[in-house]
Amino acid sequence: MSEIQFLATTKPFSIPKNIENNSVFFGKGSSFYVWDLDPYWIEIVQPILTLSYLYEASGLGNKDFWTYIDKYMEVGDVLELYRIPVQQWYHAPIRNVLENPMHITINIGSRTYQYEHGKIKLNEKRWLEELSHRTLVTEHGVTTILNY
């Protein structure tokens, strides 16, 4: 099986209609989708995802995802992202992230990207482009995107 991507939020999540409709043009492989998380995974990811609403996602980091971040993420919103590379072998990645996490924090309000090697100030005009070239989601830690 392939990877599984998770998205957690502080409030119920929905993709705006104009982004949803964009998928017709970009095709399923390059679209951003979010759907309710299968109960099987809830117990598995709850120790690492701290926000209340849990979803399975597809397309984290693609054009539609960045459009959502840029245009629809409101001040005070927080997202957590995580991925498991191979669904059947989730035990090791979960254990690693609990024992030796390498979290990423992206603050779109202050235009910063923080990871295990330090904090980077993003260019005010090209911050989305800069983020699109950085690691967004891994099995080594949770990526927190906040707008403060």
- Within the chain, residue ranges assigned H as helices are 17-26, 39-45, 63-72, 91-99, 127-132
What value does the mean pLDDT take over residues 77-89?
91
Q: Domain extents for the chain?
A: 4-146
Both tokens of residue 134?
């950085």
Percent of the chain with pLDDT over 70: 92
pLDDT of residue 19: 76
Query: Quick check: 79 and 36 in contact, CB under 8 A?
Result: no
In angstroms, the CA 77 to CA 71 distance is 12
Both tokens of residue 145?
């995107």
Residue 30 banded pLDDT, cuts 50, 70, 90: low
Residue 130 banded pLDDT, cuts 50, 70, 90: very high
Residue 89 banded pLDDT, cuts 50, 70, 90: confident
Query: Quick check: 139 and 97 in contact, CB under 8 A?
Result: yes
In the numeric block, the tokens 């099986």 are attached to 1
83 strand-pairing partners: 5
Residue 20 banded pLDDT, cuts 50, 70, 90: low
